[in-house]
Structure 1
């Protein structure tokens, strides 16, 4: 990629993102997503208890915290894949409370999953075409009249090829998604999300299970989303990666927002140190002990 077209990875100034002190629930200058009083309880465990949080527009925000902090549950609530016990939230000023996931996606807020949801028995191209919104052929009556949707489908295919080429998956367009590697399925899921022309892209642990050879490619694509004018909110455990690409960091522990701020400064916050190294670090049977150990080292390095 030439220097004049390469995406910039220069972080946004945090002072341009928020109003007042960088603290839990602080106001943002131009929030794209605002949530109030969102709670979710499983049995006797309150997995999410978010009093107020705002996601800044045009920035890359990392949602971090120890295993069991409630990050993915919060993602599920905000995207319509789960229902809260209480709370409300808005996207672009429009209420999303109680809205099903497919309608949330149509409004421009899309997400990926820690465990990819690529449809393995469909080709890569078919997966991409599923991501295009507002397709005329989705109507039962219009579906039997090809002249109504043929031109639109050709345009969608051309757009899909363009995106797949950027993700270096164009040569796989006729392959079944099940034949792709774990990293390639992550790329496909992100590429498919772009077919809907989103405003906010939410990535749940995009680097989980990815071959190191594809890690830098995924990082570049995440940075490219911001370059193209999209807002990014992602869950991640790798602190080094968070410091590399995030403009803003939100920290969760025991379902609550305990800190917000600049990715370099927030790691020095006593609440964050306590969340990772102290009493709030609950064991998770599904946790990756290697990743957790690396995070502890990363935080300790920042304190030295």
Structure 2
């Protein structure tokens, strides 16, 4: 059986290019904050069953677009569909139940709850959340056992089982990233959206996270992630979408998109005096700029925590 990523072979690498089997389709979505337009995406399609990277300079609108399509923010205008269903202005809880879940750049683990309890929170269909049902233990006990068993399986998979009964607040930054990804899988999503999964992660856990992201795709899920780590982008992405100043300025396979003049312009400024013939050199310059921005963001992040 052919891999879903083979469907992307031969596509015209241009902004808004139609995909053979898109799971997420965005049309004319704008988000304005006063006089600032943070997002202005005319058309974007995300192919089902592949790993798509969303990259761009700081302030390009990547996380804002994430917030919009996952229901954490409302657009000024525009619409989008997920798996053929209109999701415009659907709140975050309903978006998650539809099968689209996300993680955050700054992890959202509940630090005064155990790792296991954090996992349990991510599960669907919990009868104990109903006030009347909660009073009758037999109505929710069996479901709670099922949820706990699933949580334990995922903790083993993400190598967090030895921390099962520890408070989430005691975990390292990388372990919290793993916990958030594992918790997202508790709801059996169709599409997982990861916002800078490598931010603040030490090198020892980086390879583990890379493997987990690839495993999601191999299991049939769609992955869309925001990332500054160009090693990760080039290593695991099937397709790359580039944003700048709120717009999609380029799309294409990872090996070619870095040499796109629009991408070079977005990261390095006007390039009319640059020799565009040396694609490899230009790609390296873009990558260096991305890695510099990632380092600055990480230092700022650690500064806020200290």
Normalising by structure 1, we get a TM-score of 0.88
The answer to whether 1:33 aligns with 2:24 is yes
| 1:270 matched residue in structure 2 | 261
| 1:255 matched residue in structure 2 | 246
Question: How many pairs does the alignment contain?
Answer: 277
* Distance in structure 1 (CA, Å) of the matches to 2:11 and 2:215: 29
| 1:296 matched residue in structure 2 | 288
| 1:5 matched residue in structure 2 | none
Change (3 A) 1:55 1:71: same
8 Å CA contact 1:61–1:248 kept in 2: the answer is: yes
* Distance in structure 2 (CA, Å) of the matches to 1:266 and 1:11: 20
Give CA deviations for 1:3-23 in whole Å, capped at 9, x if unaligned.
xxxxxxx9923xx13785221
Q: Secondary structure at the match of 2:228?
A: coil
Higher helix share: 2
Out of 173, 198, 213, which is 1:182 matched to?
A: 173
Change (3 A) 1:19 1:293: closer
Query: Cα offset for 1:293?
Result: 7.8
Q: What residue ranges of structure 1 are gaps of 5+ in the alignment?
A: 1-9, 281-291, 300-304
* Distance in structure 2 (CA, Å) of the matches to 1:187 and 1:48: 29
* Distance in structure 2 (CA, Å) of the matches to 1:223 and 1:244: 10
* Distance in structure 2 (CA, Å) of the matches to 1:298 and 1:83: 29
The answer to whether 1:21 aligns with 2:12 is yes
* Distance in structure 2 (CA, Å) of the matches to 1:74 and 1:279: 25
| 1:12 matched residue in structure 2 | 5
Measured on the aligned residues, the alpha-carbon RMSD in Å equals: 1.9
Query: Cα offset for 1:43?
Result: 2.0
Query: Structure 1: which 4+ aligned runs deviate by more than 3 Å?
Result: none
The answer to whether 1:128 aligns with 2:105 is no
Out of 169, 186, 192, which is 1:195 matched to?
A: 186
* Distance in structure 1 (CA, Å) of the matches to 2:58 and 2:289: 16
Which range moved further: 257-266 or 16-25?
A: 16-25
8 Å CA contact 1:11–1:247 kept in 2: the answer is: no
Change (3 A) 1:33 1:19: farther
8 Å CA contact 1:40–1:84 kept in 2: the answer is: yes
8 Å CA contact 2:4–2:49 kept in 1: the answer is: no
Q: What residue ranges of structure 2 are gaps of 5+ in the alignment?
A: 272-283, 292-306
* Distance in structure 1 (CA, Å) of the matches to 2:38 and 2:289: 26
* Distance in structure 2 (CA, Å) of the matches to 1:169 and 1:42: 40
Query: Cα offset for 1:91?
Result: 0.5
* Distance in structure 2 (CA, Å) of the matches to 1:70 and 1:18: 27
